[in-house]
Amino acid sequence: MISNSKSNTKLKAVDFFCGGGGMSFGMLQAGIKVLAGIDNEENCRKTYESNIGEGKFIKADVFELTEKDLQKKLGLQKNDNELILIGCSPCQFWSIINTDKKKSEKSKNLLIEFERFVKYFYPGYVVVENVPGVLRKKKESGLEDFITWLKDNNYQVHFDIHNVNDYGVPQNRKRFTLVANRITDKKVFPEPLKNKKPTVKDFIGCHNGFNDIPAGHKDESNFLHTTSNLTDINLKRIRKVAKDGGNRMGFANDKELQLKCFIGKDNSFKDTFGRLWWDKPSPTITTKFNSISNGRFAHPENDRGLSIREGAVLQSFPKDYKFHGESVGAIARLIGNAVPPEYSKRIGKAIIENHRDAISY
């Protein structure tokens, strides 16, 4: 178990749709006690419990979980100024990524279900993190009505689209984030970085403890410096991609290697088979970051995709965070779906600072 930061705050959080614990872990690191993480996926339990310590993992479908059930399970009080309710619901339905909307249709109402718990408990703070699409479709997603209710019930509400790279994460990842506070008259959110923002080189590479390895390398240790195998033709392709930021144009004129779907479409999906740049943040770490055919996920120099641990640290998970899953793909999904812990930690610290200001008056 990774220890959390010491703090004299009495703030405590319940993390809805907790996944593998990215948001919970960041809150712990800030110094906030995490009472529980709630998720409908049993395969998140072992990873969550291995890292969050005292925080309980509650397997529950939020559509079936009642407010009174949760109150009884955790001993929660209504109108608790020190309670933070966090909702980072699965977001496939509102994502711009081309996904099967029928499969994810149920997820479109998860924010509305989360709102039910906020109205019942009336906590001191509310945090919501999601894809930018929930704001673009704020009427349909239920966000517009939720923000209106928060404002009508004495919350100061910050909400916007933020790039996590501005908050210490070495990744371009734009997310909708809302922080509501009824303790003070301030809108709460951390300040963005004013100086150098983190890049890939700050987190991976031999100088950061990541040895050069080939495609298909299996790391049997908890470090999980494990990479997906590549077919012979994909190995030939990646070898022709320029180091440090090259893309599939490196093999576009090779009749053997060019993909048929890209013939005559040189300007489409250029990131496919692309390499990361050392001196830039990575692209968004998705649930398929371990596959070079799913985006710019090739190592800047090695002829392979990112390892599981490399993807995790680019999401700002510490090197000793313990991941558990039935396969490399299952662990990659946990990592790609997570809220970057560094982003969460900074939000948590901003909430703590606001709460201390309120107490000092």
Could you give the residue numbers annotated as active site?
91
- To the nearest 10 degrees (0 to 180), the angle between helices 110-121 and 143-152 is 10
SS3 212: coil
Shortest CA distance to 91 belongs to which of 114, 69, 70? Answer: 114
Q: Using CA atoms of 255, 257, 261, 266 in order, give the dihedral in degrees to the nearest 10.
A: -80
Task: Please give the DSSP secondary-structure letter assigned to residue 38.
Answer: E
What φ, ψ does residue 60 adopt, rounded to 5°? -160, 145
Cβ-based neighbour number of residue 198 at 10 Å: 20
278 within 8 A of 300, measured Cβ to Cβ: yes
Residue 190's contacts (CB-CB under 8 Å, 6 or more residues apart) are: 167, 346, 347, 349, 350
Helices (H), the chain: 22-30, 45-52, 67-74, 110-121, 133-136, 138-141, 143-152, 232-239, 308-314, 328-337, 341-360
- CB count in 10 Å sphere of residue 244: 14
